[in-house]
Amino acid sequence: MLQRQLDFLYQQTWTKLNAALPKDRGISNPLFIHVPEAYETAELKLMVIGKETHSWAWHLGDPDHPTSVEKLVAHYREFNLGEKYVKSPFWWAAHELQRQLTPAVPPFGFVWSNLFICDQNCKTPENDIGNKLRELSILKEELGILQPDAVVFLTGWYPYDYTIKKLFPGIVMTPEDGDDGKLLSRLSHPALPVQSYRTYHPKYLRLKRKMSVLDLITSKIRNYKNS
């Protein structure tokens, strides 16, 4: 069972995070995935990866809000892939990817993770905290357990390509936008499925009227699936 494997990983990670990270720097609790049943039975398993949370289950070590792996997994389940935030650019785009891949990916039948498992004061972690989180990253382990067929990084190229390259040493980024790859690149690495892409964060895509890149991504995924 996928969830059991993840929970075992999270118990180990929870101990490491609490030992390595300060409790007075506004670091959020970690994002621990709950696998939707619809993901496990999906014809095509989709994983969407963002930058970091914008606050998540209070702060690490908050004495007024003690938590546990079980509670954090439950928090992810109750958040239900941003069900209450579907008008936000990120969650609109994540669900649009799913909609365009229906019926291979059913509604609420994908998983979400982030490059950084914790945020800091609702933003990207500062350099020293970011370095610790990169060292403690379990994203590759999550990918190994979840075995997605397609992965879409909604992160933007700057400065997040730096973190992607740190988490996936030797990764190859191939432009797929007919230009320099900033809008869309395909990512090649042994830990990632063949259909792995990185584009801008949807807030930027909406601002620049580039949301149509989602059509291109899903077209490539469908064509590969049907080839």
Q: Give me the domain span that covers residue 109.
A: 2-226
**Residue 140: which CATH number?**
3.40.470
Domain count, the chain: 1
Report the mean per-residue pLDDT for the chain: 96
Rg (CA), the chain: 17
Rounded to 5 degrees, φ, ψ at 17 are: -60, -45
* pLDDT at site 185: 98
Question: According to the model, what pLDDT value does residue 1 have?
Answer: 85
Q: What is the pLDDT of residue 58?
A: 92
8 Å CB contact between 25 and 123: no
Instruction: Dump pLDDT digits (tens) for 120-148.
Output: 999 999 999 999 999 999 999 999 999 99
Sign of CA dihedral 90, 143, 220, 80: negative
Q: Encoding tokens for residue 128?
A: 């020293």
Question: What was the pLDDT predicted at 2?
Answer: 96
Residues with pLDDT less than 70, the chain: none
Q: Quick check: 198 and 153 in contact, CB under 8 A?
A: yes
Compute the half-sphere exposure of residue 79: CA atoms within 13 Å on the CB side of its CA: 23
pLDDT value, residue 70: 97
